[in-house]
Chain A
Amino acid sequence: SQTIHQWPATLVQPVGSPLSLECTVEGTSNPNLYWYRQAAGRGLQLLFYSIGIDQISSEVPQNLSASRPQDRQFILSSKKLLLSDSGFYLCASTEGTSGFPQKGEQFFGPGTRLTVL
């Protein structure tokens, strides 16, 4: 089964500072990977998804970006953080075959809680 790692677990950053969150996946190959953000007391907002190395799609226009330099590594970045970027960032993974998940089960990493002050 898949194991998803995220770090850091918590982060406090000033407005205008850069951001880099990392996600790595074990136990599967060629996963589809996803970044979600969850504001306090709210639902899950899909930010980016990736079906392969260097193949990234954005769901919501914003000051965040994502990269996938390796098959099982997914990075979320920002050059300048805004107050509204605060939230719980979750990486998720689905087993895929050339980008088309056959089973559908999506599993989440432990998350990074980001506070922008």
Chain B
Amino acid sequence: GENVEQHPSTLSVQEGDSAVIKCTYSDSASNYFPWYKQELGKRPQLIIDIRSNVGEKKDQRIAVTLNKTAKHFSLHITETQPEDSAVYFCAATFAGGTSYGKLTFGQGTILTVHP
């Protein structure tokens, strides 16, 4: 089955700096890679995703890159703000097949943005 490794486990940055979180996956058949943000005591919220037919996707201050050959993908947050502080999870799955949409999650990264 799929295995997703996420690094770092904690990340501390100053407001305005950039933050990068990296994930590697093991199953070359995986074709859908979402990122979730979870604030304390809340549900995970889907913030951006990427499919295997593209290498990069941006949405305002966040971007995700995918390297299929190396089987890794990364989340980039620019101009960080204190409200970006949360736990971030990456995930991977093969959408459209007998994985039935089951996501394999990374272990999470606690991002702290200091004012």
Contacts and interface: CB of A to CB of B under 8 A. Distances in A.
Contact of A105 (B42, B49, B106, B108): B49
Contacts, number: 64
Contacts of A83: none
DSSP majority for the B interface? Answer: loop
A96 B101 CA distance: 8
Interface stretch (B59-67, B68-76, B89-97): B89-97
Interface residues of A, number: 27
Contacts of A27: none
A107 B42 CA distance: 13
Interface residues of B, number: 24
A47 B51 CA distance: 25
A101 B96 contact: yes
A109 B95 contact: no
Interface in B19-58: 32, 34, 41-46, 49, 51
Interface in A58-117: 59, 90, 94, 96, 99-111, 113
Interface of B: 32, 34, 41-46, 49, 51, 89, 93, 95-98, 100-103, 105-108
